[in-house]
């Protein structure tokens, strides 16, 4: 038996309380996807969340002292048995409806566009599926002795890019992907990678969608890009957050400057993310917990926003960092509050309890929190789904009838505002919250 096997097996016998505390909130991901593809999707989602988090202004509604949780009495019972390829809509009350789609050859979805296996694409408009044309950009990039042949498809709509972009080379551990850079529709971040997991290396380039030309932002800053990995893009696409080892750097894509985030924050940050186009939030480990401060990128002193935070763990609660402007602070008993890292405000959610089977995630537009509760027997075991609109403070959730709804395979976002549940056989459910 291998030594590492002994350690791995022995890890299985550590104390129950450690195992319970390590249980992570369920993630809205396709569990059966290959890891590389999953990583690309998660990266894209994180980028969208970070880059678009503060695109919309905070309304008066959000400034209310408390968010109200409203548990709808309607229960989702799934698509009608005779539903064909025409979308079917079912009202769940209070401005919430489920739109059921059945397509035989769904490949993937991005920002409201559904790509089919044959390369064609559809969009859901006014309750009907309409064909849309995807544009194609190709490029050949050489890095680390390998030629990466990039072939990506895209479309602009809803104010953001719908991007389908990932591929492999002949070498098994070499891949490329592209992710949107905030609201930019002229260029995307092209990420080349080699190696897996701990040994993974990455190269960050800019790819012009019209011409297919690439440029090296780090070289323009006078830096060697070999050791950097891409973290996220600013909401306006004017800057990118990069990492080299444990150090974070801010790369200004217009002024061609590279700045150390620790120097900007005046403290050692273990994580950072954009909370607006011109503001970066930095997480600072301190006193066994974390403080969060914001850094104005145009100049000025950092501002303390929160302190004494603990990262969320089942049972003991803590902060769920969503990668965007808002986080969910959960108390040990399950009561929760939305924290706005940009302003430092904390808004409790009335009549709501979070638990180990619950999940929250921020929308690509950064203005809605998806809430899901798991525990059922089928597929993801999704038993409850809801959405907190951070602009209006409305938090609506409904139950799903056990055994009647199609078992879910993945939960995520259909577009910038609407949750999407995918099921086996090309069944998609888009949830619209007015």
The residues binding other proteins (CB under 8 A) are 1-16, 18-27, 29, 31-32, 35, 38-39, 42-43, 45-46, 196-198, 229, 231, 243, 245-246, 270-271, 288, 310-311, 313, 320-323, 327, 374-377, 381
Nearer to other proteins, 167 or 375 (CB): 375
Minimum distance between the CB of residue 286 and other proteins, rounded to whole angstroms? 12
> What are the beta bridge partners of residue 276?
279
Whole-angstrom distance, CA of residue 415 vs CA of residue 325 = 18
The tokens for 155 are 């479309």
Q: Which residues contact 348 (CB under 8 A, 6 or more apart)?
A: 65, 66, 67, 335, 336, 337
Minimum distance between the CB of residue 3 and other proteins, rounded to whole angstroms? 4
Closest CA to 258 of 237, 228, 288: 228
Minimum distance between the CB of residue 204 and other proteins, rounded to whole angstroms? 12
CB 303 within 8 A of CB 284: no
| Strand runs labelled E in 106-227 | 106-110, 113-116, 121-125, 128-132, 135-143, 146-157, 160-164, 166-168, 174-180, 187-194, 201-208, 214-215
Nearer to other proteins, 43 or 106 (CB): 43
Nearer to other proteins, 209 or 369 (CB): 369
Whole-angstrom distance, CA of residue 338 vs CA of residue 240 = 26
Minimum distance between the CB of residue 361 and other proteins, rounded to whole angstroms? 9
Nearer to other proteins, 212 or 381 (CB): 381
Closest CA to 256 of 203, 215, 208: 215
Nearer to other proteins, 35 or 170 (CB): 35
> What are the beta bridge partners of residue 394?
68
Helix (H), strand (E), coil (C) string for 15-57: CHHHHHHHCCCCCCCCCCCCHHHHHHHHHHHHHHHHHHCCCCC
The DSSP secondary-structure symbol of 186 reads: S
Minimum distance between the CB of residue 372 and other proteins, rounded to whole angstroms? 13
The tokens for 248 are 């974070």
CB 322 within 8 A of CB 367: no
Whole-angstrom distance, CA of residue 36 vs CA of residue 230 = 16
Nearer to other proteins, 90 or 247 (CB): 247
CB 264 within 8 A of CB 280: yes
Nearer to other proteins, 22 or 147 (CB): 22
| Strand runs labelled E in 322-381 | 326-330, 336-340, 345-350, 358-362, 368-374
The tokens for 59 are 């309304």
Minimum distance between the CB of residue 189 and other proteins, rounded to whole angstroms? 14
Give the residue carrying structure tokens 């086996």.
Answer: 424
Nearer to other proteins, 123 or 202 (CB): 202
Nearer to other proteins, 82 or 198 (CB): 198
Minimum distance between the CB of residue 97 and other proteins, rounded to whole angstroms? 27
Nearer to other proteins, 396 or 406 (CB): 406
CB 371 within 8 A of CB 386: yes
Minimum distance between the CB of residue 28 and other proteins, rounded to whole angstroms? 9
Minimum distance between the CB of residue 122 and other proteins, rounded to whole angstroms? 27
Minimum distance between the CB of residue 409 and other proteins, rounded to whole angstroms? 9
């Amino acid at each position: 038996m291998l030594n590492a096997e002994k350690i791995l097996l022995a890890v299985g016998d550590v104390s129950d309380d450690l195992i319970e505390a390590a249980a992570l909130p369920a993630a809205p991901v396709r569990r059966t996807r290959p890891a590389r593809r999953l990583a690309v999707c998660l990266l894209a989602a994180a980028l969208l969340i970070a880059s678009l988090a503060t695109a919309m202004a905070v309304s008066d509604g959000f400034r209310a002292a408390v968010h109200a949780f409203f548990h709808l009495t309607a229960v989702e019972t799934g698509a009608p048995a005779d539903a064909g390829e025409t979308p079917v809509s079912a009202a769940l009350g209070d401005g919430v409806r489920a739109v059921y789609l059945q397509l035989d050859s769904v490949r993937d979805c991005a920002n409201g566009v559904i790509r089919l296996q044959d390369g064609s694409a559809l969009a859901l408009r006014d309750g009907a599926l309409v064909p849309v044309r995807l544009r194609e950009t190709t490029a050949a990039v050489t890095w680390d002795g390998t030629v990466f042949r990039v072939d990506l498809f895209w479309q602009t709509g809803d104010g953001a890019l719908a991007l389908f972009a990932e591929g492999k080379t002949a070498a098994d551990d070499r891949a490329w992907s592209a992710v949107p850079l905030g609201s930019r529709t002229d260029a995307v971040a092209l990420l080349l990678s080699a190696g897996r997991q701990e040994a993974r290396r990455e190269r960050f380039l800019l790819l012009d969608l019209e011409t297919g030309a690439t440029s090296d932002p780090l070289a323009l800053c006078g830096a060697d890009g070999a050791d950097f990995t891409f973290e996220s893009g600013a909401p306006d696409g004017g800057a990118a957050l990069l990492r080299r080892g444990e150090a974070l750097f801010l790369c200004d894509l217009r002024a061609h400057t590279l700045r150390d985030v620790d120097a900007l924050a005046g403290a050692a940050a273990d994580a950072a993310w954009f909370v607006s186009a011109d503001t970066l939030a930095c997480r600072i480990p301190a006193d066994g917990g974390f403080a969060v401060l914001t850094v104005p990128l145009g100049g000025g002193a950092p501002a303390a926003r929160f302190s004494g935070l603990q990262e969320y763990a089942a049972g003991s609660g803590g902060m769920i960092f969503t990668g965007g402007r808002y986080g969910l602070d959960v108390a040990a008993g399950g009561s929760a509050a939305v924290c706005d890292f940009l302003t430092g405000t904390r808004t409790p959610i009335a009549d709501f309890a979070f638990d180990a089977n619950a999940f929250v995630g921020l929308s690509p537009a950064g203005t809605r929190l998806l809430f899901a509760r798991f525990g059922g027997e089928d597929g993801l075991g999704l038993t409850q789904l809801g959405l907190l609109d951070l602009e209006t403070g409305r938090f609506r959730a409904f139950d799903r009838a056990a055994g009647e709804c199609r078992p879910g395979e993945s939960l995520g976002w259909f577009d910038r505002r609407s949750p999407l549940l995918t099921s086996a056989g090309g069944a998609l459910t888009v949830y619209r919250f007015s």
